[in-house]
Copies of this chain bind each other. A is one copy, B any other.
Amino acid sequence: MDKKRKIRIGITHGDPNGIGYEVILKTFQDEQMLEFCTPVLYGSPKAAAYYRKTLGLQTGFSIVQNALEASNERLSVINCCDDNLKVEMGASEPAAGAAALAALERAVKDYQEGAIDLIVTAPINKHTIQSEDFHFPGHTEYLEDRLGNGRHALMILMNDNLRVALATGHLPLKDVSAAITKELLIDKINRFADSLKLDFGIDKPRIAVLSLNPHAGDNGLLGDEEQKVIQPVIEDLTAKGRFVFGPYAADGFFGSNNQTHFDGVLAMYHDQGLAPFKALSMGSGVNFTAGLDVIRTSPDHGTAFGLVGKNEADESSFRTAIYTAIDIYRQRMQERLIRKNPLRKQYFDKRDDSDKLRLDQDTTN
């Protein structure tokens, strides 16, 4: 990447009838945001102008034909939508779903061509976006399919103090127990640890694993998945040198601030991780799709149809999603730089003290 060029962020508008435009425009109303990134909004200049007027916002933007033309001075918008697209605030409309998908596809294409460095997504409506090209429960699965090259994504919810990953995601509750297998947990824990290292610069991450059943199964009285699946995986990975702990009863874990002792927490299912996470984050949480080459973040809220047009949406989570994506991008760049010319290994096995590297000795002897 050209060093003079700022990080170029592709932002998808999400469902144009949701609060996406409001949080995007509010975020870039502050011109200081442009000091460390060049934002490119994939969406509809018409919709952006409509929301700007309706909400009385001052955010300036330019219309550009492609991301490489994006200005450093203001938000750039690429039109991805039908000219007839009509914003109907708060309405669940197939046309809005099509507009959300069109923006996403264009952003993915531009990412593949290197025109943008990372992707931040505004919320979509999971029903109206479904089509022949989009038959996924959400962004995570879509990006895994389009940009994963066979790799699997891991959903991490994070704020300044806490990172929660999910072993299972969008599954009916009754199917969760059967989905929790040893293979799944090993894979999730390894990918979580890899992301904590690569994306957050934590060399030896400490991961807490929550239990599936109440009271961690109470020694088998309340379910045996802890004894049969979770505990053996933790022992196995610990033997291999990972710092993995648990399984912890989920109810008391966050209440006793246990999360502060770990770099990451793996929850067994959606609500187990997200309900306490959101209770603690109170609107400042960010969703990060780890495990893929592409860095993608999003705010932790949805389209919030009931709130659209009222000027009541809080842009904090969206702004934090931008910051987070940039932080992770920089961390990866640094990591790549560090690894580029590694120190040559001096010796391979440490045996005893005689093996010490003797710097006081002239090696030409």
Contacts and interface: CB of A to CB of B under 8 A. Distances in A.
A222 B276 CA distance: 20
Interface string A228-261: 0000000000000000000000111111110000
A: contact size bracket: 35 or more
A275 B177 CA distance: 18
9 contacts: A170-B218, A173-B177, A173-B214, A174-B178, A250-B271, A255-B277, A255-B281, A271-B272, A275-B276
B274 A213 contact: no
What copy number does this chain have within its complex?
2
A271 B255 contact: no
Nearest to A273: B251
A266 to B, nearest CB: 14
Interface in A111-156: 126-127, 137
Given A271-B272, A275-B272, A276-B279, A223 B255 contact: no
B252 A301 contact: yes
B172 A222 contact: yes
Chain A's interface: helix, strand, loop or mixed, by majority? Answer: helix
A282 B126 CA distance: 34
A283 interface: yes
A190 to B, nearest CB: 24
A217 interface: yes
Contacts of A177: 172-174
Given A126-B215, A174-B174, 13 more contacts: A126-B218, A137-B218, A170-B221, A172-B223, A172-B224, A173-B173, A214-B269, A251-B277, A251-B278, A252-B302, A254-B278, A255-B278, A257-B282
A219 to B, nearest CB: 7
Contacts of A283: 255-256
Which A-B residue pairs are the 6 nearest by beta carbons? A255-B278, A172-B223, A251-B274, A174-B177, A214-B270, A254-B279
Contact of A214 (B170, B225, B279, B280): B170
Given A127-B219, A222-B171, A271 B257 contact: no
Contact of A170 (B171, B215, B279): B215
Contacts of A269: 214
A152 to B, nearest CB: 19
Contacts of A280: 279
A283 B301 CA distance: 28
Interface string A192-228: 0000000000000000000011110111011111000
Nearest to A137: B221
A166 to B, nearest CB: 10
Nearest to A212: B173
A170 B222 contact: yes
Contacts of A251: 270-271, 274-275, 277-278
A176 interface: yes
Interface in A161-181: 169-174, 176-178
A313 B137 CA distance: 45
A278 B215 CA distance: 14
